[in-house]
Amino acid sequence: ILVMNFVEGYPIRDITEHTLHRVDRTSLVKRVTHSYAAQLLENGFFNADPHPGNLFCQIQGGVCRPVLLDFGMVVTVDNA
């Protein structure tokens, strides 16, 4: 199934946007790390194509939230 959806935001590499929105980059990195750790350790699957082009940022209520894009390549982790 191919699903397409428009996502508001800007590329995670856009330092100008981070500065404009006064993004706490340490907090952003923690959110990205947590989301990948949750995929792998809690859900048992993860986006197997993690690169900056697949990461956007959204500003919601003054907080920068990572948006993971392109789940075309996903890996499932066995419990073994």
Where in the sequence numbering do the catalytic residues fall? 49
Q: Buried b / exposed e across 37-54, counting CB within 10 Å, b at 16+?
A: eebeeeeeebbeeeeeeb
Neighbours of 64 (CB within 10 A): 21
